[in-house]
Structure formats: structure tokens, C-alpha cells
């Protein structure tokens, strides 16, 4: 059974008001779109299709890693294994954190979250990741005002799954991100195309990239279509860590 976070009325209200709580705002001005392409969990196809396609465009992405998933197979297919992380790092991709066990952090005590962060950091180091790990994504996008402050103390850029483009400001304690999913592909493309009229920072995330994706993944041709549109926009494509560094400095 695949875990999904609670959708009770109180949780839906919390999700509506949370973007305005525990914020750590980064203000920016840009005259070209910035795109960050990210992969959560992540299965082998995120590398064999996703990273390989990015390489062809000369771009790099962010891989949010649960080290407890190394070498296992789940509903997204076979997951990355230990040798994949140094190879991704050598190709310039950002390796980021996503807890050790892929747990809903809103259901954990502070001590349990600390333990997840610590074990995941150790797991990344054990697999040979050398870069400082400064980005984190909430599993299931699940968070609350307290967690936003807490995770923001541990990581410079913390990503959620709230959809939308960042115009002028971004909350570094809960960055928005759009699922690059087959199910919502057309609307994502339309948002991407709209960046030519008003540039912003748009982050995308996906999981499996294969011909029969789960509802959290997309097909290879859809992934490539998105990259082609991004290229036609003249967008700057950067991993989340580098996009934040770029946006923190004036460019206009
Ligand atoms: Zn995840």
C-alpha cells in the first residue's frame, strides 16, 4: 500500500495558510526565466532517461535522495544504487536530502526528524557524496509551520510540492514545485510557455520516467518536450542550490 498524507479538512486548511507562515523570503529580479529540474526519491529511470537527457542539453538537476532506498525496488521501479550518486555528482548534478526512510515529517517528533536527517547525511557520505548537502525536499510535500522553521535551520533551500511559479520572491523554507507528471502535463507546459511573457523561477519535480509511468511520473517524450520548450524560452537551467545562489545576487 502506498502511503499518502491525510486529506482531512484541518490538513487542507493548514496547507492553505502554511505558505504565509514561517517564511524565509528571498527577493529577486530577473529578466530571463530560471528553471530547476528535480527528481525525488528516485528510480533508475530518473538517471537513465532524466539525467542523460539533461546531459545532452548541457544542463544539470537536483536529486532528492532517501538513502534508505538505495538498491531497493518500489512502485517507481528499481531505485538508484550506491554507485549512481558519485557518478551523478561527477556530472555536476546536485545531490540533495529527502529523509532516510521517506517519512511524512508531520507525523514525527523532532528527535525522529533529527535522526532521519543524520542517518541520511551519513548515508550520502558513505556512498561517496562529497558536495555539501544544502537542499532538502519534504517527503509527500508534508510540512507545517514548525517544521518549516526547523528544516530551514538545517538546509539553505527547502522544497515542497505547492504548484506555481516564483515571481519576485521565493520562500526558502517551502519552495514551490510543479509535478512534471503525465496527468497534468498540458497545464505544466502552458505554465512553462507563459514564462516568455513574465519571467520567473519555476521548479519541476518528477519520479519515474518510462512508457507506463505511475501517476507521479512522466513519459520520456514528455520529458523531452518540456526540455525543448525550456530551451526555446532561452531559460537558465540550474540545480536548486545554484538557482538560489544566482537569485541571491542581482542580475538586472
Ligand atoms: Zn519523495
pLDDT at res. 4: 80
146 Cα to the center of ligand 1, angstroms: 20
d(CA 92, CA 219): 24
- Give the chain's domains with CATH numbers: 24-248 (3.20.20.370)
CA 164 to chain CA centroid, nearest Å: 13
d(CA 199, CA 26): 16
105 Cα to the center of ligand 1, angstroms: 12
DSSP string spanning 191-242?
Answer: HHHHTTTS--EEEEEES-BSSS--TT-B-HHHHHHHHHHHHHTT-EE--HHH
Query: Averaged in consecutive runs of 10 residues, what is the pLDDT profile of the chain (252 residues)?
Result: 76 72 94 97 97 98 97 95 98 97 94 96 98 98 93 96 97 98 97 97 98 97 98 98 94 66
65 Cα to the center of ligand 1, angstroms: 8
d(CA 24, CA 232): 32
User: Which residues, 6 or more positions from 215, have their beta carbon under 8 angstroms from its beta carbon?
Assistant: 181, 182, 183
64 Cα to the center of ligand 1, angstroms: 8
| Pairing between β-strand 77-78 and β-strand 73-74 as defined by DSSP bridges | antiparallel
216 Cα to the center of ligand 1, angstroms: 10
Amino acid at each position: 500500500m502506498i502511503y499518502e498524507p491525510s486529506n482531512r479538512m484541518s490538513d487542507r486548511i493548514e496547507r492553505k495558510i502554511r505558505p504565509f507562515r514561517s517564511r524565509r523570503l528571498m527577493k529577486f529580479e530577473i529578466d530571463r526565466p530560471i528553471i530547476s529540474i528535480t527528481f525525488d526519491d528516485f528510480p533508475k529511470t530518473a538517471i537513465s532517461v532524466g539525467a542523460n537527457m539533461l546531459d545532452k542539453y548541457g544542463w544539470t538537476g537536483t536529486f532528492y535522495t532517501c538513502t534508505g532506498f538505495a538498491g531497493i525496488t518500489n512502485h517507481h521501479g528499481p531505485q538508484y544504487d550506491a554507485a549512481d550518486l558519485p557518478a551523478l555528482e561527477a556530472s555536476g548534478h546536485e545531490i540533495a536530502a529527502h529523509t532516510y526512510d521517506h517519512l511524512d515529517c508531520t507525523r514525527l517528533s523532532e528527535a525522529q526528524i533529527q535522526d532521519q536527517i543524520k542517518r541520511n547525511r551519513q548515508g550520502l557520505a558513505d556512498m561517496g557524496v562529497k558536495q555539501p548537502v544544502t537542499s532538502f525536499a519534504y517527503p509527500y510535500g508534508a510540512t507545517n509551520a514548525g517544521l518549516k522553521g526547523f528544516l530551514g535551520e538545517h538546509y539553505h533551500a527547502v522544497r515542497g510540492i505547492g504548484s506555481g511559479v516564483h515571481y519576485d520572491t521565493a520562500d526558502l523554507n517551502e519552495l514551490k514545485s510543479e509535478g512534471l507528471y503525465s496527468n497534468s502535463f498540458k497545464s505544466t507546459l502552458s505554465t512553462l510557455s507563459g514564462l516568455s511573457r513574465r519571467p520567473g523561477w519555476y521548479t519541476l519535480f518528477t519520479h519515474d520516467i518510462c512508457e507506463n509511468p505511475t501517476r507521479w511520473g512522466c513519459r520520456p517524450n514528455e520529458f523531452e518536450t518540456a526540455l525543448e520548450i525550456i530551451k526555446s524560452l532561452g531559460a537558465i537551467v540550474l540545480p536548486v542550490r545554484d538557482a538560489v545562489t544566482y537569485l541571491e545576487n542581482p542580475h538586472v
